[in-house]
Structure formats: C-alpha cells, structure tokens
Amino acid sequence: MEPIMEFKDILARRRAVNFFDTERDVPEPLLRQLVDMAAMAPSGFNHQPWSLMVLRGAEEKARLRALAWDQAKITEAPVTLVVLADTAAWQEGHPACERNWKEMTATGMPVAKRDWFMGACNSLYGSSRDASLAFAVKNAGLFCMSLMYAATSLGLDSHPMDGFDHDGVRRAFDIPDNYWVPMLISVGWLKPETVLTPPKWRKSYDEIVVKF
C-alpha cells in the first residue's frame, strides 16, 4: 500500500519547479489517474467547464515554448498541459450542459425545473461576455489547483504558467473561439540533484482578512 500523504504535507511539498528530469516520463496510466483525481474539483452548477490539451511530442512542445517566453520547462517536462476554460459550457444545447442536466435529473432533479435551471445559468453566466469568461476561468482555476495538488500527492512535480501569448497559442493549436486559455502546466519529475530555493513568503491571516 502506498503511504498516504497528509494534506498539510501536500500543501507544503507542492512547488512550482523550473527544472524537470528529461529522462523520466509520466506514464499514461499515471497521467490518467492525475486527471481523474483533479476532476473532483467543484464547479458552478457542476458544469465542469474545463478541458486539457496534453502535449508530449517534441515538436508541439517546442511550438508552445516559442509562444511562452521561451520557458525551457515546457519542453523539458515530459508533459505540458494546455488548460482550456469553456465559456459556453453553461449554454443550452452545449454537450456539457446537456450531460449535466441529464445527470441531475437522474439523481432527482425534477424535469419540470429545466426552465428554472437554464434561466439561472443564463442569469449567472450569460449576462455578458465578461460573465461567461469569469464563469469559465474561475472554475478552470479550481481544476488547475486540484491538478497541482493531485500531482504532488502522486509524487509528481508541476509548474503553472500564465506567461504566454494567449491569442498566439489559440491560433497555433487551432483552439476554438469558445475556449479561453487560463494556464499552462508542466508536469513531471524534479531534475535529480536540483536544490530548490526556500518557499516564497506568504501572507498571514491578519494580512489576508480585510474589511471595508
């Protein structure tokens, strides 16, 4: 049986590492386990407006690196994930929305409440482009953090990145217009003998809690 890592230890161990072991792969079953674990993240109305592009090939990772400040970790890590936030996942007729409605009715939601459900989604997420974008990105952010904590729990290392040409990435990888790209995440194993710097400072409780 694998040792169970306390969550406080996962929090402490997770680091955004810059140097990955180029000789060690992330096997497909392990990557699937990682994504399945992260998929337990919460989302508004359980729409789960996230998808991933999994980049493993040298050419595609190099293409991404050229659009992401030439960050070496993108090509050195065995896997780099392009996180996609679906701004349309709440819309009636969208496969994700319709699957969500089907699953909700299967677990007790009255079919007669469909108009209420779609009205609530439209009110929350469809009032403007900004509302749809906020819906997608904030929920995808929950998924991203779950990905990184899940990676740590499995002994993997990761690095989230928002330094990239958003529109350039969308064009280079033919990403449809309904997706926003909130983050890139490299996943792999820390390069052997790499000495990590001490963890960066964090705000205290008293600095975080405010009132107006």
Are 42 and 142 in contact by the 8 Å Cβ rule? The answer is yes
Give per-residue pLDDT as tens, 59-103: 999 999 999 999 999 999 999 999 999 999 999 999 999 999 999
Give per-residue pLDDT as tens, 164-196: 999 999 999 999 999 999 999 999 999 999 999
For range 12-40, the mean pLDDT = 97
Q: Return the percentage of the chain with pLDDT > 70, whole number.
A: 99
pLDDT exceeds cutoff 90 at 5 = no
Q: Write the DSSP string, 146-193.
A: HHHHHHHHTT-EEEEE--S-HHHHHHHTT--TTEEEEEEEEEE-BPTT
pLDDT exceeds cutoff 70 at 45 = yes
Domain that holds residue 69: 7-208
Q: Has residue 170 been placed in a domain?
A: yes
Rounded to two decimals, what is the model's pTM?
Answer: 0.95
Q: How many domains does the chain have?
A: 1
Q: Has residue 1 been placed in a domain?
A: no
Q: For residue 55, give the CATH number of its domain.
A: 3.40.109.10
Q: What is the three-class DSSP state of 71?
A: coil
Q: With bands split at pLDDT 50, 70 and 90, how would you rate the model's confidence at 1? A: very low
Tell the residue number behind the tokens 């217009």, with chain if given. Answer: 177
Q: Has residue 51 been placed in a domain?
A: yes
Q: Has residue 191 been placed in a domain?
A: yes
